[in-house]
Chains A and B, each alone.
Chain A
């Protein structure tokens, strides 16, 4: 069974698939007697498969003190005294006697073993002992060497070293290489292999028609330099790294790790040497003066899943993440299956249980922060907006809003005219109801005859009316209008002109639609305006008041002209409205003075209310800060920053000395910090609101005696979770601030009695919840003042306020005419916090909300020294069964970590690519080979251990591995070497004889042929239809998929907001990857879910795939685009078929194929023409003379996009 998997599965998918599972390497006929039995190829697999479980390196499982993996043990007496193996003497060897024994008590392996020895295996063991029972170390664990290139008979065929190895083997097998593939196949193969996209016809022709012998190499160089190269090869790496855009597990919420994905693309495009590529991803943060890119690179091991379900133990899932990191690192770089050793010493490979945890220890000593990218363009935009905010905040105290006291006059008569034919009725209430023509845009001109008066304001009222759409005041379908510009003319004061235009200085409406502020109506721009579509529709009375820059004095009866320009279009014109003229009760100067006075009065009152907060606080610098799990660091400003691990119950203990005498209260300041989730001040990162915390209990001791706390106040609390809840005895209640995250908050705890003569004070803060709800950053202050209370005031304002202590002093401060920084500070605080300023603050809040956010990504950061994490052995791999602590290290059968550097993550990374490691080069080269040929030289891409398949061409793999290091780990160079080989360039066509002989193409007597990866299937269709967006990088996108895939059954269902524009047609690698609900098309075509490291993808062939490429919206859009292109193209039907065919398959069609498709096109066209089928539906378009033709071609395109050859590389 076990043996069946790798081969048989692949083959069952292939359905007819050949004798996979029966590896010809191993089942080759028994060697002729002149050859000795090969230990590695023949003996070791038998011993490993049948004997090592009880007679291997695992001391715990070892029976009879016998090791058969070690010659020394095997040839010396066992526990029984018998000699298991006597080299050269099978008759004297107990092993031989036992395996041939028919006595059930003696038989080995014991009867009932699930995997008995077959007679052929027994014979091999016997012959091996006869021949001297030689042991050889496992091939993959010895450093590779470049063997001399083998001699071959055919001197013409080989193009480079690779071909010498391949041909030597072929000649040995009496096989001949296939001829070079035709140029169409070659160009298609190269494009798909090197950049993951098929060539366009023009690109293909450029190569096909280039007769130069250098054409092929030129194309290779050109493709390796393409920016799409990085995208193609990044996908391969993303499979290993288990990349996804969500956290996985139950909640599976989105996260941002795409900057790491882009780092991979860029690194590959730049051909960052594989050693640096490795070091930066595993330990980039630990490099001296690590750059932003090097830190971003450490996202590799942050691709682990994060369980955000409420009741989980976060440290248990951190352990699972570590287990995952060990497996991924071992599979990706070492091709080792370390998973076994999590629970016990590896049964087959020489990895001890302890060594597994030593390997883990290398990776274990990190914290896992979110890293802000601070992109310069975003920073510049933020700075610009921040400047505006600062200016507005400085000016804010002068904007104290005053109610308008005005007498309004509604004119009794008016004359209405319009620019495009609307008419209006003047109603008895002084309003206008517009009727008649309803053009898209309009300008109303209204003339009023007004008696002498003073005008300071004009009011426009929009009056809801059932006559108009939705009962709104406007004539648009939804009852809305847009007043683009309001203009006013009054008689000129001098006699030269008849009238003059009046300027407006400000506008204020009771409501304005987002983006349609009333200010737009006086900004002089015709493409902006005031509109009133709101959450409840349009059917509400609204008004806007426009303030004149200078009051107008009408000395006698005068004509005042109002123009209402309404330029928005689609009938967004006023239907029912009224205009009135107002006079503010007092003069302008008086108003400003009154505004200041009123403001100052309010401010003093407001500050008086804050006086209890006006204690003199002194910040305390902790002498120690420790906790049960998180790492606490005392910052320069005396605050404590918390990082590292958080659990469901953590206690933070902070100690202080040298305290002032007579302390009456303690203030706990929770400080917002960009480094924290949600900007802090708490550390909640899952289940609850990011940045919140849950302070269940606060305890204070002075000189060892508990301090009684009587009362608590706070700047903010959500609902009933106020600060007093940290003082009650109930651990289920606590102080929490979910509506106030991202801002600094504080709570003040009063003492029952003042504390005097204190040498040491200890504060214990306990955060206990069913999820980790710890603190992020906090600072402790104390005061000797009585009755101190918490407030929202900033620390500077509190300090100033503390100077003034009572209301009278504050009054004096505001009466004084001298400039006073204290007054400025307090006024500013008043403007920022008081509800009086809610209106004027709106603009600032809008600006703040518009601040563009920096991209973030997940990274690794080594824990500070002195805070190293201990790693323990876990009995049977269980989280809770902790055994002895271990130090970082690597399995002893591999070269050791260097002695001259600390043994940590960086050391491990460097060790992997030191060039001394026997595995890394082989594993990477094997994967490259597998990507191109569909099968690795070692078929088990992820297992180079004893249980893995043996290499089909070890000498070739070793040569490549050594060459890779020689070439400075340059992946592009190695890829070029492979694709330049004659081996790679062979035709993939196969003779029945060859298929019979080598169904899996192990000997490489032909080129590869296999189905494209999921992303390439879709990308190819996008290229063929001309829809592909070539944009590289950026946040993931949402191409169409059936409704419900990402939301049905998902916890926080992800609304799949299908991308519009070019983002709809990006390469598959940019499709948003939700772990619990992968993009449907990708999943159907064997794409990964991103939950585990994938060394190799399956290639299945299912009816669901057929349904997808036949019916999926994406493929339909491609078919339509291709159909339209073809309908527009020049040439006769045959020429157009050829054009389409080549867009999909690269090569030109055969005459039979062409004829078949022309005939198919004609048949479909006839069906559309006859009305049997509706072109409008298929094309999702309005009727058009050419639509039938487009629909017929679209149907042809559906056929072409579904052809086997279209989704294959050959």
Chain B
């Protein structure tokens, strides 16, 4: 039994409070109105409780922390690596020919049951960018313009081949719902830095011309961890946080009255029953009240000015991926630990050619802007950006103009905090089917991400149903080659 440092931290706080409240409460005795309304008592209790800020269980860190925070750009639906970052001239040559069985035999398929598997060449041209002449699809010139900041991985693999389990796997390391997602792990491990905002924030945006795959709240659930570590979704429509607005007719001033009165009565009650939970509740009501101002302020990107809005290519209130990228930067500035953006509609079973054009218009400028903006603010070096879908797409056609789900090889990229810039890592075979050079799987990705955050992935675990649950399951290797 090895009591952790944070236990001592809490014990120390408790001692302080015990001395303070213990004496005060005894001194006050009964239920004098004076003490009921004693603001000193209240604010003192709250001040002590505010130190309750979660400092994380990984303390000290296992490794030097290269990235303090993560911005994860999730491209939901499964982007085609063959129309984005992985150029396959051989596939273009074999367009329309049967896919050689040697590539596909015994492999999982999702929707191509009984279909004749035909090669389907890249639908767009590729161009070389950056110092190393990295080839990427010509539809993404702005990402190309910052390719020297990016670490492109062309050998990603995943276990799952359908959307829901694949997202679950990418987020939690397990295909079945119920495990904590990575944002929850990171907040649990490292703690929060923000006083007024949650440690794990999620933003979603809708694209055009796709299947609009679902993104359910449990993708950012805390799973086995306490619910305080779950991702809080900031919505683009309605209240950014559920119940953030006052009820109709209630003004800010009246809300303050209500909260103050609740807290005063609770504080007095605390002196009788001496339940530390009451002090926490007082603090949480204060925090809730502060969030009612701080969150709308955060969400209002107008003050960013025309130049910044132009850089990202967004308008206030448009709910676009670009807006969310800008919000991600603002959240990063405010100390949010893990920011996850979901951009939907990459599920191109049909019409992949046109579909990718839409996607490029939606994300190309925004991704460049986020990298550029963070860099000019000196934040790129301690912010890890990850761009990834839940899987890739088949080199074979589906229905003549689309591609099916594919998990044997696809592309993702990382950028910033502790990751080597300007490199291309790994590769797929000549038809883009399987990752054959330096394949990495989801557990490896997680291990590597935790590593730059300063955490050894094998040491971060919780117990559930008798198992030591880890983000990386019983697998995962940190890919040292990706680290600075």
Contact segment of A55-63, A698-706, A1103-1111:
A1103-1111
Distance to closest chain A CB from B117 (angstroms): 12
Name the residue on A nearest B179 (C-beta): A1092
The distance in angstroms between the C-alpha atoms of A731 and B279, with both chains bound, is 67
Contact A1044 B237 (CB under 8 A): yes
Taking CB atoms, residues of chain B closer than 8 Å to A1151 are 31, 33
Q: Which of B14, B162, B261, B266 has the most CB of A within 10 A?
A: B261
The distance in angstroms between the C-alpha atoms of A328 and B279, with both chains bound, is 37
Q: Does any Cβ of B come within 8 Å of A901's Cβ?
A: no
B interface residues, how many (CB within 8 angstroms): 112
Taking CB atoms, residues of chain B closer than 8 Å to A349 are 466
Name the residue on B nearest A1076 (C-beta): B216
Distance to closest chain A CB from B44 (angstroms): 14
Contact B254 A18 (CB under 8 A): no
Given A1042-B239, A1044-B235, A1110-B288, is A1156 in contact with B36 using a C-beta cutoff of 8 Å?
A: yes
Q: Does any Cβ of A come within 8 Å of B66's Cβ?
A: no
Contact A1199 B280 (CB under 8 A): no
Taking CB atoms, residues of chain B closer than 8 Å to A1043 are 238
Q: Does any Cβ of A come within 8 Å of B354's Cβ?
A: no
Taking CB atoms, residues of chain B closer than 8 Å to A648 are 113
The distance in angstroms between the C-alpha atoms of A1152 and B468, with both chains bound, is 51
Contact segment of A2-10, A443-451, A507-515:
A2-10
Distance to closest chain B CB from A7 (angstroms): 9
The distance in angstroms between the C-alpha atoms of A1106 and B36, with both chains bound, is 21
Contact B468 A13 (CB under 8 A): no
Contact B250 A1106 (CB under 8 A): no
Q: Does any Cβ of A come within 8 Å of B39's Cβ?
A: no
Contact A4 B57 (CB under 8 A): yes
Within 8 A of A (CB), among B216-258: 216-218, 221, 225-228, 232, 235, 237-239, 241-251, 254-255, 257-258
Partner of A1106, one of B239, B268, B284, B464: B284
Within 8 A of A (CB), among B196-231: 204, 213-218, 221, 225-228
Contact A1178 B248 (CB under 8 A): yes
The distance in angstroms between the C-alpha atoms of A1204 and B241, with both chains bound, is 23
Contact A1156 B466 (CB under 8 A): no
Distance to closest chain A CB from B166 (angstroms): 10
Partner of B280, one of A15, A348, A1051: A15
Taking CB atoms, residues of chain A closer than 8 Å to B213 are 250, 1051
Partner of B466, one of A3, A11, A248, A348: A348
Given A1-B459, A1091-B218, A1107-B244, is A310 in contact with B110 using a C-beta cutoff of 8 Å?
A: yes
The distance in angstroms between the C-alpha atoms of A4 and B292, with both chains bound, is 34
Partner of A15, one of B31, B161, B214, B277: B277
Contact segment of A268-276, A835-843, A985-993, A1020-1028:
A985-993
Distance to closest chain B CB from A732 (angstroms): 5
Taking CB atoms, residues of chain B closer than 8 Å to A1086 are 227
- In the complex, how many residue pairs between chain A and chain B have their CB atoms under 8 Å apart? 333
Contact A1156 B265 (CB under 8 A): yes
Partner of B18, one of A13, A340, A996, A1175: A996
Given A768-B113, A1042-B243, A1044-B238, is A1203 in contact with B265 using a C-beta cutoff of 8 Å?
A: yes
Taking CB atoms, residues of chain A closer than 8 Å to B466 are 336-340, 346, 348-349, 943, 945, 947
Q: Does any Cβ of B come within 8 Å of A331's Cβ?
A: yes
Partner of A1107, one of B254, B291, B461: B291
Contact A27 B1 (CB under 8 A): yes
Contact B249 A1204 (CB under 8 A): no
Distance to closest chain B CB from A1200 (angstroms): 9
Partner of A1103, one of B17, B257, B284, B464: B284
Given A1051-B214, A1203-B265, is A16 in contact with B280 using a C-beta cutoff of 8 Å?
A: yes
The distance in angstroms between the C-alpha atoms of A1202 and B286, with both chains bound, is 13
Q: Does any Cβ of B come within 8 Å of A606's Cβ?
A: no
The distance in angstroms between the C-alpha atoms of A923 and B266, with both chains bound, is 36
Taking CB atoms, residues of chain B closer than 8 Å to A1173 are 249-251, 254
Name the residue on B nearest A1097 (C-beta): B227
Contact A1199 B247 (CB under 8 A): no
Contact B243 A250 (CB under 8 A): no
Taking CB atoms, residues of chain B closer than 8 Å to A1105 are 284
Contact A21 B216 (CB under 8 A): no
Taking CB atoms, residues of chain B closer than 8 Å to A1048 are 204, 235, 237
Q: Does any Cβ of A come within 8 Å of B377's Cβ?
A: no
Q: Does any Cβ of A come within 8 Å of B264's Cβ?
A: yes
Q: Does any Cβ of B come within 8 Å of A892's Cβ?
A: no
Q: Does any Cβ of B come within 8 Å of A309's Cβ?
A: yes
Q: Does any Cβ of A come within 8 Å of B54's Cβ?
A: yes
The distance in angstroms between the C-alpha atoms of A787 and B259, with both chains bound, is 84
Contact B463 A947 (CB under 8 A): yes
Given A1-B460, A250-B163, is A14 in contact with B255 using a C-beta cutoff of 8 Å?
A: no
Q: Which of A15, A995, A1045, A1110 has the most CB of B within 10 A?
A: A15
Distance to closest chain B CB from A906 (angstroms): 26
Taking CB atoms, residues of chain A closer than 8 Å to B404 are 311
Contact A13 B243 (CB under 8 A): no
Distance to closest chain A CB from B185 (angstroms): 12
The distance in angstroms between the C-alpha atoms of A1100 and B198, with both chains bound, is 14
Contact A2 B280 (CB under 8 A): no
Name the residue on A nearest B111 (C-beta): A770
Distance to closest chain A CB from B293 (angstroms): 13
The distance in angstroms between the C-alpha atoms of A996 and B36, with both chains bound, is 25
Contact B288 A1103 (CB under 8 A): yes
Distance to closest chain A CB from B467 (angstroms): 6
Q: Does any Cβ of A come within 8 Å of B176's Cβ?
A: yes
Taking CB atoms, residues of chain B closer than 8 Å to A15 are 49, 52, 276-277, 279-280, 283
Given A649-B114, A1116-B247, is A1009 in contact with B4 using a C-beta cutoff of 8 Å?
A: no
Contact B265 A1153 (CB under 8 A): yes
Q: What are the 3 tightest A-B residue pairs by CB atom distance, in nearest-first order?
A: A337-B466, A1177-B249, A311-B110
Can you list 5 residue pairs at the A/B interface with Cβ under 8 Å? A8-B7, A340-B466, A770-B111, A1100-B226, A1110-B259
Residues of B that sit less than 8 Å from A by CB: 1-4, 6-7, 10-11, 13-14, 17-18, 22, 31-33, 36-37, 49, 52, 54, 57, 109-115, 161-165, 176-178, 204, 213-218, 221, 225-228, 232, 235, 237-239, 241-251, 254-255, 257-259, 261-262, 264-266, 268-270, 272-281, 283-285, 287-289, 291-292, 342, 344, 404-405, 458-468, 474
Residues of A that sit less than 8 Å from B by CB: 1-6, 8-9, 11-19, 21-22, 26-27, 114, 118, 248-252, 305, 307, 309-312, 320, 327, 331, 336-340, 343, 346, 348-349, 648-649, 696, 731-732, 768-770, 942-943, 945, 947, 988-992, 995-996, 1009-1011, 1042-1045, 1048-1051, 1075-1078, 1080, 1083-1084, 1086, 1089, 1091-1092, 1098, 1100-1108, 1110-1113, 1116, 1150-1153, 1155-1157, 1160, 1163-1164, 1167, 1172-1180, 1191, 1195, 1198-1199, 1202-1205, 1208, 1210
**Given pairs A1-B461, A1010-B277, A1110-B285, 9 additional interface contacts (CB within 8 A):** A15-B283, A118-B1, A307-B165, A311-B404, A340-B465, A1044-B237, A1077-B216, A1100-B228, A1110-B288
